[in-house]
Structure 1
Amino acid sequence: MQEYDVVIIGAGHNGLVCAAYLLKAGYSVLLLEKRSVPGGAATTEEALPEEAPGFKFNLCAIDHEFIHLGPVVEELELHKYGLEYLFCDPVVFCPHPDGKYFLGHRSVEKTCAEIERYSPRDAKRYAEFAEHWQRVIGAMIPMFNAPPKSLIDIVGNYDIKKIQDLFSVLGSPNKTLDLIRTMLNSAEDVVNEWFDSEFIKAPLARLASELGAPPSMKTLGVGMIMMAMRHNPGMARPKGGTGALVKALLNLVTSLGGKVLTDQQVKQVMVDNGRAVGVQTINGEEYRATKGVISNIDAKRLFLHLMNSSDVDAADPDLRDRLDRRIVNNNETILKIDLAMSEPLRFEHHNHRDEYLIGSVLIADSVKQVEKAHSDPSQGIIPDDDPSMYVVQPTMLDPSMAPDGQHTLWIEYFAPYKIAGLEGTGQYGTGWTDELKNKVADRCIDKLAEYAPNVKNATIARRVESPAELGARLGAFNGNYYHIDMSLDQMIFVPTLARNR
């Protein structure tokens, strides 16, 4: 039996970051990863080795923004371990059915100039909108970078600039109430309050809904930061793909003496006298932890699936019930499509420029279309009559991810984890089958071809991963790659496990 100070369940990027800090503090650390490759949702893999050798695909995460709100990259000096970030500019392109388009640059001024071609009023409002949400982000950063519920740490993270941001959004009773009102509002409410034109409202609503809920959902007003962050700190991708972040973290962890074992799925957390003392894998191996066990997987799987109920009840008799009932999963996840292509997309009806493809491409025709794309999955319905999608051509920013002159395409399409009426059938009892996932993927490509007609002829090979397959690969409970729905109530008001108690 092997013994370490800390055993970490899962070697995703969060677990690796945690391990790096522990190792730098002098602890011995073991990470156990169920897949044959570490990285969790942050891997880059040659997923079509026979049909498209040399094409590297990000199999889940792709655009990095939140990581730049914190000190992790700088504190861990990840550039010394091979990490190089490439910043996108432009950051988003969204073609509209009437020939207009939203082109967002990293620069707010350039973005306003693009909007002004169609709506001077919305351009002026966008400048005010971006400034407001930048101040909100500045006020929120100290809360992101402090332990939960630790007022001393939160206060200590405010410098003069962030204090100014805080007072600019909370400086008077009216401002405070207005911010609370905005946060309690929906993304749809917010965009309707600020803007007139559908060509700008639809992509902003689509980005806000990346948090995993329809734009009409109250408390999703905070989703407006998803566009604001693309201006500052900016949207970036590791050179070589998202997996390059994992590779740098692995280089750091192993250089500090940390150990990562793959193909080691944890079966149970071992508890002795009320303390987690180690884990047992499905292969029967046991690994002891003298200081503690840390989970890189979601709380539901940890406490409801990997621990004896008697051990959990002994620690807190209400915990299992609260986890089961309070942590909500609205059945929304993604169907993932990857294409190997002979040439990049061309948006022939929108005065195509290659720069459109550097950031993310949003197929969001209207707020109503985005609403359906996110509300249908919660009812177990596949919203494929008029698909809305998040599309990226990574090789326009980073040609190293495909053979010379060729390209990859990354498509995220929101879909239900369990299909209404088909529960108990298909893959993992979700109703998904190979035939169905490819039928839905065909519909997505048909929709994309309305804007970029060359997508079909340029496709060399295709990989489609159903929500059920993605959930199984990531080990994501009910396919939820965020662990829990990212609504305001669950991001802020879930004190049950705060401070890692």
Structure 2
Amino acid sequence: MTSATAPDRSSYDVVIVGGGHNGLTAAAYLARAGLSTLLLERLPTTGGAAVSTVAFPGHPARLSRYSYLVSLMPEALMAELGLAVELRTRSTASFTPWTRDGRSGGLLVERPEGEATRASFRELTGGDEEYAAWQRFYRDVEGLAGVVAPTLLEPLPMERELAERVDPDVWRELVREPLGAAVERRFSDDTVRGVVATDGLIGTFADLDDPSLIQNRCFLYHLIGNGTGEWRVPVGGMGAMTDALLRAATDAGAEVRTGAGVSRIDAGDDGAEVTWHDGTRSHSVSTKRVLSGVAPWVLRILLGEEPEPDTKPEGAQLKINLLLDRLPALRSGVDPEVAFAGTLHLGEDYGQLATAYAEAAAGRVPSVMPGEIYCHSLTDPSILGGHPGHTFTYFGLHTPASLFDDPANKELAVSRALASLNEHLAEPIEDCLSRDADGNPCLEAKVPQDVEADLAMPGGHIFHGDLEWPWSPNRARLDTPAQQWGVATDLDSVLLCGSGARRGGAVSGLGGHNAAQAVLASA
């Protein structure tokens, strides 16, 4: 990897715009196939949102600052590129603290599920019926995932091809009807309903009954990875994944330039010219194909179109990174090393999710913030760098970017997020925070505007826009390799390779893999 000095050549087979994990994946595949490949990244380092950072002065701990877990990246892709990254299973799948009738407890879901999970459901609901419903539902989801997951590294299947291989009732519930209907039909307990529903709302601002079914698409993406939907911790942090991809790309011969802010793409059907600036002067190269790792909304601007504010994506998440001296104790008395080992749900009962959505849609910060806590250091202590405590990542839902047009709402949202955690703690989380070299609490918050400023993701949308189904509509045209792989634009010489591709979204490498396959199929 080099800084943005003059390129080695005046022409390349492929130029990739954006050095996030998808751009690096595409570069690795194409360079391995013998194509001259140039990757241009605006920031000083590659990795995009999947980076590890020393966030707090005086502490060596490296936090996964933006993206934080891996689910969708196929194991076959990792094997093909020789990515020497260990993905660890979290011993706890999820834990949801609750308080009812003066009692404090927690809904524990182990990985794998065992008697403690069954007992936890029984303590919450008073019987075994809800856990039996849980088991039936996730068996059905796993059946759908088992059909869809193997197709992710293949040309797009038609919807009808997949529907024929899935139980028709399951297909209807998860693909045809709003997710809320299935949740309400399948489950009775408000807390259990909420735990199920949250996978449809990560980074997606929607009501669970939204007729657009955007929540269903988000739910599916969170549960189909490798046929299991398990979200795993990359040892060394998210940066370990993109560092491995960078090595795979450069070892194969790809040319990677950082500090290279692309300013223009002049494209026709037969090729393109890409122009970037290195901070001192401009450079231009010609290419047969441009692969865009930036959001489609940004790509249109680079192609010379006027920005359309009405079509700009809007992110909807609050990310808080914390460094702790110790894990906090819970009011329920549950061992913190069990409770915080997986996904800890806060303010995510089904009714609370509905109220939070209504408040945010009306322009107000939710009075009870729904969100989740992840303690990666329990699974991977290496990221602490010798720090004696732990890391926390909080991911908040139902916080659309428009809320933070008023800067005061960021502080309000953070305080309400911490309050939703403190409600279940025997001591305030503030008392557990480490202090940086200047004596400040080790806490940083990122709202969508911060994500846009840091990473140039329009609207701070972590998926670059609304997710699409990972298959082709039955009447779609699939005449070209780009269409067949779900990476086409209106120009034959420009393909999508980022989260904005049909099967993009999350840390998966799918956008990069599929764009590379489309290029190779066209050669």
Which band: TM-score by shorter chain? 0.7 to 0.9
Name structure 1 gaps, 5 residues minimum: 156-162, 310-319, 420-429
**2:70: which partner in 1?**
64
**2:521: which partner in 1?**
none
2:90 corresponds to which of 88, 91, 104: 88
Amino acid at match of 1:191: V
**2:81: which partner in 1?**
76
* 1:393 maps to 2:375: yes
How do 1:204-353 residues align onto structure 2 when only pairs under 5 Å count?
204-210=196-202, 212=204, 213-218=206-211, 219=213, 220-225=215-220, 226=222, 232=228, 234-271=230-267, 275-281=271-277, 283=279, 284-303=281-300, 305-309=301-305, 329=313, 331-349=314-332, 351-353=334-336
Measure how far apart 1:488 and its partner are: 4.8
Where 1:371 maps in the other structure, the secondary structure is helix
**1:317: which partner in 2?**
none
* 1:447 maps to 2:424: no
* 1:486 maps to 2:467: yes
Check whether the contact 1:339–1:463 (CA below 8 A) recurs between aligned residues. Answer: yes
TM-score (ref. length: structure 1):
0.81
CA distance in 2, matches of 1:451, 1:215: 26
> Structure 1 9/228 Cα, relative in aligned 2: closer, same or farther at 3 Å?
closer
> Structure 1 410/96 Cα, relative in aligned 2: closer, same or farther at 3 Å?
same
Name structure 2 gaps, 5 residues minimum: 1-5, 435-441, 478-482, 493-523
Measure how far apart 1:388 and its partner are: 0.8
Amino acid at match of 1:21: Y
* 1:381 maps to 2:373: no
Amino acid at match of 1:246: T
CA distance in 1, matches of 2:42, 2:226: 33
Amino acid at match of 1:457: D
Q: Which range moved further: 481-490 or 257-266? A: 481-490
Where 1:145 maps in the other structure, the secondary structure is coil
> Structure 1 207/382 Cα, relative in aligned 2: closer, same or farther at 3 Å?
same
Check whether the contact 1:94–1:102 (CA below 8 A) recurs between aligned residues. Answer: yes
2:458 corresponds to which of 464, 477, 490: 477
* 1:359 maps to 2:352: no
Check whether the contact 2:295–2:464 (CA below 8 A) recurs between aligned residues. Answer: yes
CA distance in 2, matches of 1:333, 1:282: 32
**1:27: which partner in 2?**
35
Q: CA RMSD in A?
A: 3.1
**2:22: which partner in 1?**
14
What per-residue deviation string (whole Å, max 9, x for no partner) do you get for residues 273-305 of structure 1? 7632323337442242432111001111101x1
> Structure 1 107/228 Cα, relative in aligned 2: closer, same or farther at 3 Å?
farther
1:97 corresponds to which of 94, 99, 102: 99
CA distance in 1, matches of 2:120, 2:226: 16
Check whether the contact 2:39–2:256 (CA below 8 A) recurs between aligned residues. Answer: yes
> Structure 1 268/494 Cα, relative in aligned 2: closer, same or farther at 3 Å?
farther
CA distance in 1, matches of 2:266, 2:278: 13
Aligned-pair identity in percent equals: 20
Check whether the contact 2:410–2:447 (CA below 8 A) recurs between aligned residues. Answer: yes
Amino acid at match of 1:18: A
Check whether the contact 1:204–1:227 (CA below 8 A) recurs between aligned residues. Answer: no
Structure showing greater relative contact order (alpha-carbon pairs closer than 8 Å, 6 or more residues apart): 2
> Structure 1 169/370 Cα, relative in aligned 2: closer, same or farther at 3 Å?
same
CA distance in 1, matches of 2:474, 2:30: 27
**2:192: which partner in 1?**
200
CA distance in 2, matches of 1:267, 1:42: 23
CA distance in 1, matches of 2:197, 2:298: 31
**2:111: which partner in 1?**
106
CA distance in 1, matches of 2:185, 2:431: 42
Amino acid at match of 1:39: G
TM-score (ref. length: structure 2):
0.78
Where 1:63 maps in the other structure, the secondary structure is coil
* 1:187 maps to 2:170: no
Which structure dedicates a bigger proportion of its chain to helix?
Answer: 1
CA distance in 1, matches of 2:181, 2:362: 23
Where 1:134 maps in the other structure, the secondary structure is helix
Check whether the contact 2:71–2:230 (CA below 8 A) recurs between aligned residues. Answer: yes
Check whether the contact 1:42–1:60 (CA below 8 A) recurs between aligned residues. Answer: yes
> Structure 1 53/135 Cα, relative in aligned 2: closer, same or farther at 3 Å?
same
How do 1:413-432 residues align onto structure 2 when only pairs under 5 Å count?
413-414=396-397, 415-419=399-403, 431-432=405-406
> Structure 1 168/112 Cα, relative in aligned 2: closer, same or farther at 3 Å?
farther
CA distance in 2, matches of 1:332, 1:290: 33
Measure how far apart 1:209 and its partner are: 1.3
* 1:408 maps to 2:382: no
> Structure 1 205/131 Cα, relative in aligned 2: closer, same or farther at 3 Å?
same
What per-residue deviation string (whole Å, max 9, x for no partner) do you get for residues 88-144 of structure 1? 121111112323422222324554454244430011112211111110001112432
How many pairs were matched up?
Answer: 453
What per-residue deviation string (whole Å, max 9, x for no partner) do you get for residues 298-330 of structure 1? 111101x11124xxxxxxxxxx99x987x674x
Amino acid at match of 1:67: M
Amino acid at match of 2:458: F
Q: Which range moved further: 261-270 or 273-282? A: 273-282
Measure how far apart 1:252 and its partner are: 1.3
Check whether the contact 1:84–1:238 (CA below 8 A) recurs between aligned residues. Answer: yes
> Structure 1 354/499 Cα, relative in aligned 2: closer, same or farther at 3 Å?
closer
Amino acid at match of 1:194: R
Measure how far apart 1:186 and its partner are: 2.3
Where 2:228 maps in the other structure, the secondary structure is helix
**1:369: which partner in 2?**
352
1:54 corresponds to which of 45, 60, 77: 60
CA distance in 1, matches of 2:284, 2:99: 57
